[in-house]
Structure 1
Amino acid sequence: MLSLLSVLAIGLHSPSQVLAKTDTGNVADRPVLAEESSGFSTMGKAGNGNEETPGAWYIGQTPENLQPDTPVLLFVPGLNSVAQVFWEDNDMYQTAYQAGYQTAFVQLHDAGGENADMWDNGSLLASKIQEISNHFSGKDITIVAHSKGGVDSQTALTYYGASDYVDNVITLSSPHHGSQLADLAYSSEAGWLADLIGMQGEGTASMQMAYMENFRSMTDSNPDAYRNNYFTLGGTDWGSIFSSNWFGGVYLSGYGPNDGVVTAASSNLPGGFELAIGEWDHSTVRTGMTFSVFENYLAGDHLIDSDDFSIAGGHSEAIPPDYNQWVQGGPLANKEALMVEVEENVKKLTLNLLTAEPISTFKITKSSGKKVQANVQQSRLDEGIFKGAHSYTMKIDKPESGEWQLEMLSSKNDNAYLLVADFKTNPYLQTNVAQNFITQDDLYHINMDADLFDEDTLTATYHVTETRNPQNEKQWTVKGKSNLSQKLDLKKSDTVYNVTVDIAGITKEGNPFKRTIVDSVYAK
């Protein structure tokens, strides 16, 4: 039987709790709930497992070494997250306290059980910023936002009138251009799993690459978008193989350096200042270890000359994806066997399996029929877009070509799976990376290296699904290299569609191969 890691349950601290002291005698273990936070109730269907109160906010203890003329630091959590992530199993609050800063923490809609888009969270956050400002007698606020909290924060400041209360904004690995993991969650292959674990919410939908590309086109041209200075950090580490970020790191590796949830390129805000791309994963980037990186930029009284602005760790740049993955998913009832096609010259094969419920068996058989004795790493994802899923990872160096069989056995009837097979080899596919916006007359471009394959054997199966109306789905199959690029026939304008394309064929050496393209487009 496979053992699984448990998830830490996070509770709501009452206003009457006494702040505990650490061994230093000065640092509070946790902030206290502000009395101004009454009036909001728990909402949502508890799809992400959170049971906090949206709109509640907390205040940290005033440090004895309070620095004069410094802003209050307001910490904003990300997708499917809660305010407690900044002080439970995290020294960010203590680090800010020891540095002499007053602090506040806020619960957004995601804390109530169902994630929300940047519009709902931005509106709620703007009202809380005003309350917090009043509590601190109009003292300036600097936002420190993790992940999607950075997008929610810019929305609050740009569209809901909160910019006058805020000095600077620090974003910690925020998906300013979206996350390809959100595209994956709405793909034809991952939809079963994402829906079963409750992760197909408005917040996830708004993090699709096409949705965020449209958000950027609207926001970056807004005269209020950069009234405040924005400073960004991004990460390139995935944590340990047991961590919640490992699955995402492997999947996103085809899109460039990433922290397991967000690519370094996506963490870069067009009108902001990139402070650093460092060796943090999506969890450690929000801890006290990054505080020293952004501390000098918490107050905005000084002028910033972008020509003289130095960036630690180098610039982040988007790169064309290599599409060296095959994605398969669906319902999992009792026993399921999948065939994984492996072509020649694959240096490494990584199998990443997610399930909604634990499985009791995960077996791999080589094309020769011999069972593989390999170490299967297992964990439960406790945050992110696939929060709550059970993860199983297996690596195979220099796999022999042919058909490999993967066998799964589930003890639950109501289960679902998502398999991502990652091939380390030279990429064969290429798309037009600038095709997030598309019209009725535009082709969705797919190019292949024709020298490597028998062109007559190539097939491409398109799945095009309206994100907010998954019943609106079309599927068709085409044959031959000349037919790989297709018109998508999108009926609704100003709408995000998921595009999943399964490509199969035979190499020149006679071995079958499969690859999957997962993308999103915005119909203009």
Structure 2
Amino acid sequence: MSLLLVILLMVPLGARAGDLGKGTSGTPGTWYVGAQPSWVDPAKSPIVFVHGYNSSAAIWWDGNDMYETALANGYQTAFIDLYPEKDMWQNGAMLAGKLQEIYRHFGNKKLVVVGHSKGGVDTQTALVHYGAHQYVSNVITLSSPHHGTQLSDLAHSSSAWWLAALLGNNNDATRSLMTGNMSYFRSVTDGRAEIQLNRYYTLGGTKWGSFGSALYWGGLYLSSYGANDGVVTVASSRLPGGTIVRESSWNHTTIREGSHTFSVFKPYTMAAQPSGATAFSSSKVTAEPETSQIVRGGKADKAIKDGFVVEDGADSFQLAFLSDKLLPSLKLKGPDGREYKPVKVTQDTSGFFKGAWVHQFEIDKPESGKWNVTGPAAAYLFIVRIDSPLGGELKQKMNVKATYKTEWVHYKQDQNKKLKEAGKGVKAGKIADGDLKEPGVYNLTTEVTGFDAKGKPFERTIIESIYVDGNGKIHR
């Protein structure tokens, strides 16, 4: 099907009309209307598609058949450009006004909104906090991080912030998606009366690709927190008060493609709602993660010289080494002096480290002891995921002796609810409830070192975020 020229309506001064096959103006607040179906079924609501973080309206038709599929199924459609790097408060406020304009354009017909990733969070913010619930019947979210994503925690950790900052990914959007901040967002959203005025339906993905694929390293990191699609865990895609439509083998890209999911959520775009989907009501979605990872990072001005310890008895480990540039001379050296080169090199597409070069290693039956990573000057981050019985023993606090050191970074909300860095510090030991009293988000990086039951050394890293509200209550 050929892509047709669309009509641009109610756009900011200077924005241009666009062709759905050639991209968008990129101006936040600009919205586009798809071609009119040959016959409009009154039982079918117009669908508004909302993109996610670090993206634009074009994701729904550029390399994606979602628009074509919706048109072929007889749907009126609209698409909007939000701020790609702003938080849910700024995008939600703008989106609320645009939904009113789109609602009026379609003759005051209630809209169905389909939001991908952060677009689902922006949409709920518009409906619940900025009054747009009256223009919408249903909301369908495709792998939206309703409880945040641990990749955002990672991006703002003491290990990773150098790299994320150089890539331009330390911004309002990524800060807002830290799991601690989203726990606070849930606390000020889920109890509001407006949340009952729309129906919410969720889809979640469980596939992050084979070794070396674009979403693989993100999925590997998130695997400690449960099933995921390479960017968002299934648990985070579930919305309190919402209904789970399906959780299947989509990754964070395929879940927004028409040929993969339109037929799945189509029944929830109709006036009459089908039965059989699973209601989800619990807001508690995270358990204590597996303790199976080591995270290191920083900025090497002359040369990279870093390392980590692999314990005795490990079955294997996988190492994802991210840098701001391609590193052909990057090497991994084992305790026996043997050198390894990456078996796969890709560029990240997840958003939180978009554009980073990912050098991936996979080592079976690794020798225990110190492993060293060397390379030229660069900003870098590496994650080691170790397959070992020690992870379970640490989680259950069995037969191990461990010491802890925690670095924390504090972000406070300004008058516009933006999170700004307000301080940092280090504590010998874990951070306990009550240690951090100033309101705001705290990103915590805890280094764990110790000895197993055989007296052999090990290392681990735990990264998380919490929100301390004005009453001193901890949200995590």
Regarding TM over 0.5, the answer is: yes
Q: Kindly tell me: are residues 122 and 31 of structure 1, through their superposed partners in 2, closer, same or farther at Cα, counting changes over 3 Å?
A: farther
The runs of 5 or more residues in structure 1 that have no matched partner are 1-26, 43-49, 431-445, 479-483
Q: How far 1:508 moved relative to its partner?
A: 3.1
Match of 1:92 in 2: 66
**Structure 1 stretch 226-235 or stretch 330-339: which is displaced more?**
330-339
Q: Deviations over 1:93-119 (max 9, x none)?
A: 111111111111000011xxxx11111
Q: Kindly tell me: are residues 485 and 125 of structure 1, through their superposed partners in 2, closer, same or farther at Cα, counting changes over 3 Å?
A: closer
Give the CA RMSD over aligned residues. 2.4
Match of 1:45 in 2: none
Match of 2:19 in 1: none
Question: Residue type of the partner of 1:236?
Answer: T
1:347 paired with 2:347, answer: no
Contact in 2 for aligned 1:40/1:54 (Cα 8 Å): no
Match of 2:361 in 1: 394
Q: Kindly tell me: are residues 469 and 126 of structure 1, through their superposed partners in 2, closer, same or farther at Cα, counting changes over 3 Å?
A: closer
1:426 paired with 2:389, answer: yes
How far, CA to CA, are the matches of 2:38 and 2:50 in structure 1?
A: 24
Q: How far 1:51 moved relative to its partner?
A: 8.0
Match of 1:228 in 2: 198
How far, CA to CA, are the matches of 1:267 and 1:226 in structure 2?
A: 19
- 1:426-465 equivalent positions in 2, closer than 5 A: 426-428=389-391, 449-451=397-399, 453=400, 455=401, 458-465=402-409
Q: How far 1:162 moved relative to its partner?
A: 1.0
Question: Runs of at least 4 residues of structure 1 off by over 6 A?
Answer: none
Match of 1:267 in 2: 237
1:39 paired with 2:2, answer: no
Question: Residue type of the partner of 1:422?
Answer: R
Match of 1:369 in 2: 337
TM-score (norm 2): 0.89
Match of 1:481 in 2: none
How far, CA to CA, are the matches of 1:182 and 1:63 in structure 2?
A: 40
Match of 1:442 in 2: none
Count matched residues. 451
How far, CA to CA, are the matches of 1:129 and 1:40 in structure 2?
A: 21
Q: How far 1:319 moved relative to its partner?
A: 3.9
Query: Identity across aligned pairs (percent)?
Result: 40
Contact in 2 for aligned 1:322/1:427 (Cα 8 Å): no
How far, CA to CA, are the matches of 2:73 and 2:453 in structure 1?
A: 63
Match of 1:489 in 2: 435
Q: Select which of 445, 454, 458 maps to 1:509.
A: 454
Match of 2:467 in 1: 522
- 1:193-204 equivalent positions in 2, closer than 5 A: 193-204=163-174
The runs of 5 or more residues in structure 2 that have no matched partner are 17-23, 412-418
Q: Kindly tell me: are residues 469 and 72 of structure 1, through their superposed partners in 2, closer, same or farther at Cα, counting changes over 3 Å?
A: closer
TM-score (norm 1): 0.81
- 1:55-454 equivalent positions in 2, closer than 5 A: 55-110=29-84, 115-288=85-258, 289-299=260-270, 301-302=271-272, 308-309=276-277, 318-372=286-340, 375-410=342-377, 415-428=378-391, 449-451=397-399, 453=400
How far, CA to CA, are the matches of 1:429 and 1:205 in structure 2?
A: 31
Contact in 2 for aligned 1:73/1:141 (Cα 8 Å): yes
Question: Residue type of the partner of 1:332?
Answer: A
Q: How far 1:329 moved relative to its partner?
A: 0.6
How far, CA to CA, are the matches of 1:181 and 1:256 in structure 2?
A: 13
Q: How far 1:310 moved relative to its partner?
A: 5.0
Q: Deviations over 1:294-348 (max 9, x none)?
A: 101112x33676xx5458xxxx964431021010010033421222211012122
Contact in 1 for aligned 2:48/2:78 (Cα 8 Å): yes
Q: Secondary structure at the match of 2:218?
A: helix
Q: How far 1:509 moved relative to its partner?
A: 2.7
**Structure 1 stretch 224-233 or stretch 484-493: which is displaced more?**
484-493
Question: Residue type of the partner of 1:196?
Answer: L
1:499 paired with 2:467, answer: no
